[in-house]
Amino acid sequence: MQVDQALVLDQVTKKYGDFTAVDALSFAVRTGEVFGFLGGNGAGKTTSLRMVLDIIRPTAGSISVLGRAPGRENAPFLGFLPEERGLYRTMSAIDTIVYFGRLKGMTAGDARTEGLALLDRFGLSANVKSTVDKLSKGMAQKVQLATAVVNSPRLLILDEPFSGLDPVNQGLLEDEIRRASAKGATVVFSTHVMQHAERLCDRLLLLARGAKKFEGNLDEARALLPARLTVTSRQSLAGVAGVADCTPQGEGDAGWQDWAITLRPGASSGDLLEHCSATGIALRRFEERRASLHDVFLHMVGTEEPVK
């Protein structure tokens, strides 16, 4: 059965004693999208994903995974890369992948064929028979990624998948996420590195101290921040409607001055440009500085999560 929403959390809370790790969290991941699950250390990302996978149970609220409650029946359709990586050290790379493929209901033959193709794609064709303890950390992580995608899951969940990978392998992982998505999978990945999310996500959720701060797409996230502009004009634009701040930059040149402008929330740079042309304010430069997801994150979440 195809469901419109691959994953739904409804008012999910997880408490450890008196401590609330996840606080009445609600969100939905649409079928086929790449969804970023973002938050700083201790925000509650791993706790949430573990509840989705039925490793731990919520204190309150409900979860729907591919239209069903979390549980073993979902295994054939799911792929999971846990934050704490762990494989049997004395098992070979290919046997490890076949083992996980079998757990998800694949035949040994199919798991082996797909496993060999994955090892080849991940640059590990010379390590097919190497035992995990003979692999570097990054290589072992790629084997673990292969165990997560071997069954071509409908829902692929990756907990901090980029940590521990060098830039080349981070790129390879981004490609793998795009590949899974192109094949129709829904992908949810957690990260505190905003650049990956910026490049990959259709939509994202910002989590802080267990609670949702934002859910939406990148443009919606950027719109949360007041627009910033760099303008070169002969006069200050302070006092013009929509301008919150107008600060001179540098020395100026023959009457022309650079200004760093911050608009009021909701004010648009287009309106400001129109005002300048309508009132005859001469401009040599008018550039909007696009907010990064990192800026949004700092604005919404602040820099610090409580360290426990």
Ligand X SMILES: Nc1ncnc2c1ncn2[C@@H]1O[C@H](COP(=O)(O)OP(=O)(O)OP(=O)(O)O)[C@@H](O)[C@H]1O
Binding site for ligand X (CB under 6 A): 16, 19, 21, 39, 41-47, 83, 192, 308
Nearer to ligand X, 43 or 218 (CB): 43
Nearer to ligand X, 44 or 115 (CB): 44
Contact between residue 256 and residue 284 where contact means Cβ atoms under 8 Å apart: yes
Nearer to ligand X, 14 or 154 (CB): 14
**Helix spans in the chain (H):** 45-52, 93-103, 108-121, 137-149, 167-182, 194-200, 218-222, 269-278, 293-301
Strand partners, 8: 28, 64
For the bound state, the minimum distance from the C-beta of residue 153 to ligand X, rounded and expressed in Å, comes to 21
CA–CA distance, 124 with 212 (Å, rounded to integer): 39
Contact between residue 69 and residue 58 where contact means Cβ atoms under 8 Å apart: no
CA–CA distance, 66 with 63 (Å, rounded to integer): 10
Nearer to ligand X, 44 or 79 (CB): 44
- Torsions phi, psi for 306 (to 5 deg): -65, 135
For the bound state, the minimum distance from the C-beta of residue 46 to ligand X, rounded and expressed in Å, comes to 3
For the bound state, the minimum distance from the C-beta of residue 308 to ligand X, rounded and expressed in Å, comes to 4
Nearer to ligand X, 141 or 151 (CB): 141
Nearer to ligand X, 23 or 245 (CB): 23
For the bound state, the minimum distance from the C-beta of residue 298 to ligand X, rounded and expressed in Å, comes to 16
For the bound state, the minimum distance from the C-beta of residue 18 to ligand X, rounded and expressed in Å, comes to 10
For the bound state, the minimum distance from the C-beta of residue 2 to ligand X, rounded and expressed in Å, comes to 30
CA–CA distance, 292 with 189 (Å, rounded to integer): 19
Contact between residue 64 and residue 12 where contact means Cβ atoms under 8 Å apart: no
Longest dimension (CA), the chain: 76
For the bound state, the minimum distance from the C-beta of residue 305 to ligand X, rounded and expressed in Å, comes to 8
- 3-class SS letters over 219-282: HHHHCCCCCEEEEEECCCCCCCCCEEEEEEEEEEECCEEEEEEEECCCCCHHHHHHHHHHCCCC
Contact between residue 105 and residue 86 where contact means Cβ atoms under 8 Å apart: no
Nearer to ligand X, 127 or 191 (CB): 191
For the bound state, the minimum distance from the C-beta of residue 258 to ligand X, rounded and expressed in Å, comes to 39
Nearer to ligand X, 127 or 141 (CB): 141
Take residue 157 and report the two structure tokens written for it: 């969940």
CA–CA distance, 27 with 12 (Å, rounded to integer): 10
